[in-house]
Structure 1
């Protein structure tokens, strides 16, 4: 599992780094003004549907079914299932895209109701979202083929595809922006173009893996397809509850003063780095592994895999959360404070980072616990929890938005994530699907102690060091604080017995000996 996690994590890290370069360019050019708010809403809608109908619910239902068909019935049966599902997905998403293009003003009146008070910004958001909405069917087909590749233990191509999203947006901002109405229009066209490239990339990777798919095959509701659809329906909410909560954040933020949507976007981008690298990588690698172990009757191995997943998640998420909360201002200033994005915008975004960071370990744990249900074919339980958490997030948003503004929106999301992770873990334990073993009981509290020590040291450094008047000075301060935090956590973790460096080194050596994943 570690080899797969590191393969996905490495490509995701590359994508996140390019994503930061992209966002630095966007912040310098657009700042946190009306065009930025309109583009981020335009980007949010197709991404929401992608994560619900593509990566989230679809993978939760499709990957175990595809893996099972591959093991029990062979490659032809698995390919037939994938082709039938791609046809249905293309038909459904094509219809959804057409409806979205026609009724986009009504859709955005629900997603960003506060924009209606500024007619020009609302009209711009409608125009940009109509461009980006064509990305939806393309990227959902990318998610389908990525699921096929993941089930075949081919993680690299699917994880590398998002790199092209960032490259195309940066290229559009530089090369296309002078020739269209606003930089937001250039970014929107870059989003659409990247979808075609990502789809071509994963399709060729599947072909090289011996699983070339006919994407235009006539759809048919065969028994395996009906079973996937039956499990997928409740999983739309169960697997995508975090994304629904973030969509609720956009609704609430649109009602706050101009710039709130942008502050939350930039803060979320920073928090998404560890969440994407750790959470997405663990969830991607853990689901097919658990599915194979459970279908093979290896329940003890499944328990062990889930324990190690939790342990690895917290080993990386706890220090990341402590560091982000303690050094939010130096980090945001170093990343974004330039051009149209001034000190006030950096401070406003940093406050949201601190709130989001409180929920970072929970966001990651949800990615670990959810496969414990999906691998057993249970998509109903997460959706029940998801419905409750969405309602809770909305209630907390309404409670906090008045006194705390956009920071209250981020805090509500973090608290809702802890409730989500806690309920998933409690039910897994209650059903005997997750037994916390002795190693996890010993190490997790020590990880928390090491992260606390690190957070205190980082907070003191961030307070003592000046932010810096130039971009280079701000980057130096952030690098010093982050580097010191890494050293302190490593030293404290070893001293407290939170992890064994020899064990980690041994796993890395085994990974290199086996070679990279395809």
Structure 2
């Protein structure tokens, strides 16, 4: 799939993700206003982090399920295909229930080890264990959702999976607006479980429309199931290590001061905003294309699609990193500085965000590289790379946390992400006997130049707004709005004159009236 086609196929997915992200910002703003940067929000973020760590199993489930179900769609009867899907649903749910029960039983020990600061106060420790136990119930719905979304994606149905965050955030917002004062953080934990259920439920109508119907089947010796779960192992390990890295960062932050985990998480949420909207959407679309070209052994088109995807990611992520780094104070103030989230918390979050920004570029490129490795049936290299990344991150954490506190944890993550992405690029380039690194390098130079010019423009606009507009809220709003409009214009003009091929793909995709 050429770069232009990738953009076309990603547009609707991106719009749905953008909708989810807008609601996520509203959700996070409400959380900040209701709970602030306190031990209460730390408990919630700690518990949610544990759930996300374990949802890496679902990522491995979906990633390995799609090619197998696609094969059944192509070669098997609907009855056999349905039996395969039902068997995977039964087996994965069975093992998830066992794991969830074990985690609930040992939740005290889990909190003691990874959230040790909570143990200093008996009431806080008890509350953190209770919230963790409630949140762990989400795992069952995450597993069910993973198989069902895998079915939809194998049929090239991306809209419902892309809309999951949007509907779950609606649940959270309703709770935070109307029920927080009555039920507090415990009720919000229950609302989170409901949110994960809704993510699963939104996929069911399309799932049924495709002809699937659940009937109990449990055959652990099934050849396809055995093959799939075997392939899952390196992918789960790889993705789990990434989430474990975030979880370890929270553990480091938990020992700095109360509220440090929240500061770290909020800065990371803004940092990954553009990444989750654009990079994940593009990676979702490009994966089946790379897999198809790999099967056909069409190496020339494979390399072209891969390089186009990397350059498209850089066109989006590099200016986003520059803009967010410069506008970090107005962004944090506008999104989070309400109610209990005060000026000190806002400044700490802004400082951490600055050091996080370069990581979003590495994340975006790394996602494409991971999909490329998976498409050629190499899950081992991303797994090893993830282990290298977490080791680097932990070592740098110990060095920087003493001097830079939460900002040091953010910088450690960025350094680790950049190093591991460079290692991945080198490995894939060698594996493919060259993947046109010259084009990627020249693209990087041109995009960086355009982003720098844009950055100077945005910095000037922000400086004027912060110093000339007396209203605190309006200065932030005007700075962000004017910077976005003027900065985008300057950036695209620079891209036009630097003549980047992928920019033409994007421009043509926007010009075309893309059918939905």
Classify the TM-score, shorter chain.
over 0.9
CA, structure 1 residues 215+447, in 2 after alignment: closer, same or farther (shift >3 Å)? farther
1:400/1:437 CA distance change after superposition, 3 Å: closer
Q: Distance in 2 between matches of 1:96 and 1:372?
A: 31
Partner of 2:201: 200
Distance 2:277 2:290 in 1: 20
CA distance in 2, matches of 1:82, 1:197: 21
After superposition, the CA RMSD in angstroms is: 2.1
* Distance (Å, rounded) in 1 between the aligned partners of 2:86 and 2:428: 33
Taking a change above 3 Å as real, the CA distance of residues 215 and 481 of structure 1, as seen in their structure-2 partners, is farther
Q: How many residues align?
A: 509
Comparing 139-148 with 458-467, greater Cα deviation is found at 458-467
The alignment status of 1:393 with 2:393, answered yes or no, reads yes
Corresponding position of 1:483: 485
Residue of structure 2 in register with 1:381 after alignment: 381
Query: TM-score normalized by structure 1?
Result: 0.93
Q: Does 1:115 align with 2:111?
A: no
SS at match of 1:252: helix
| Matched residue, 2:128 | 125
Structure 2 CA distance for partners of 1:27 and 1:238, relative to 1, 3 Å: same
Is the alpha carbon distance of 1:453 and 1:404 closer, same or farther for their aligned partners in structure 2, counting shifts above 3 Å?
A: same
Secondary structure at the aligned position of 1:221 is classed as: coil
Q: Distance in 2 between matches of 1:246 and 1:475?
A: 31
**Is this contact kept in 1: 2:87–2:216, CA < 8 A?**
no
Whole-angstrom distance in 2 between the partners of 1:196 and 1:331:
31
Q: Tell me by how many angstroms 1:170 deviates.
A: 1.0
The answer on whether the counterparts of 2:314 and 2:361 sit within 8 Å (CA) in structure 1 is yes
Higher mean C-alpha deviation, range 364-373 or range 198-207 = 198-207
Do the aligned partners of residues 114 and 216 (structure 1) sit closer, same or farther apart at CA in structure 2, a change above 3 Å counting? farther
**Is the deviation greater in 213-222 or in 101-110?**
213-222
Indicate the SS of the match to 2:353.
Answer: helix
Structure 1's unaligned 5+ residue stretches are none
SS of 1:359's partner is helix
- Structure 1 residue 372, shift from structure 2 partner: 0.9
Offset of 1:439 from its aligned partner?
A: 4.9
For 2:246, the equivalent position in structure 1 comes to 246
8 Å contact from structure 1 (residues 330, 474) kept in 2: yes
Which of the numbers 177, 189, 193 marks the counterpart of 1:174?
Answer: 177
Which residue of the partner structure matches residue 282 of structure 2? 282
Task: State the secondary structure of the residue aligned to 1:220.
Answer: coil
Deviates more, 1:135-144 or 1:108-117: 108-117
Partners in 2 of 1:287 and 1:240 — Cα distance? 20
TM-aligned CA distance change 1:314 to 1:186, over 3 Å: same
Native 8 Å contact 2:148 2:204 kept in 1: yes
Identify the residue that residue 138 of structure 1 maps to in structure 2: 141
The partner residue of 2:42 within 37, 41, 53 is: 37
CA 1:500–1:279 in structure 2 vs 1: closer, same or farther (change >3 Å)? closer
- For 1:222 and 1:112, how far apart are their aligned partners in 2? 40
In the alignment, which residue of structure 1 is the partner of 2:350?
A: 350
Partner Cα separation in structure 2 for residue 239 and residue 462 of structure 1: 38
Please say which of residues 261-270 and 139-148 is displaced more in the overlay: 139-148
1:498 equivalent in structure 2: 500
Check the 8 A contact 2:312/2:503 in 1, yes or no: no
Where does residue 102 of structure 2 map in the other structure?
A: 99
Q: Which residue of 1 aligns with 2:217?
A: 217
Q: For residues 206 and 433 of structure 1, do their structure 2 counterparts lie closer, same or farther at Cα, with a shift above 3 Å needed?
A: farther
Q: Deviations over 1:28-55 (max 9, x none)?
A: 11111111111111211112211x1012
* Aligned match of 1:20: 25
C-alpha change, 1:178 and 1:317, in structure 2 (3 Å) is same
Where 1:362 maps in the other structure, the secondary structure is helix
Contact 1:68 1:295 survives alignment (8 Å): no
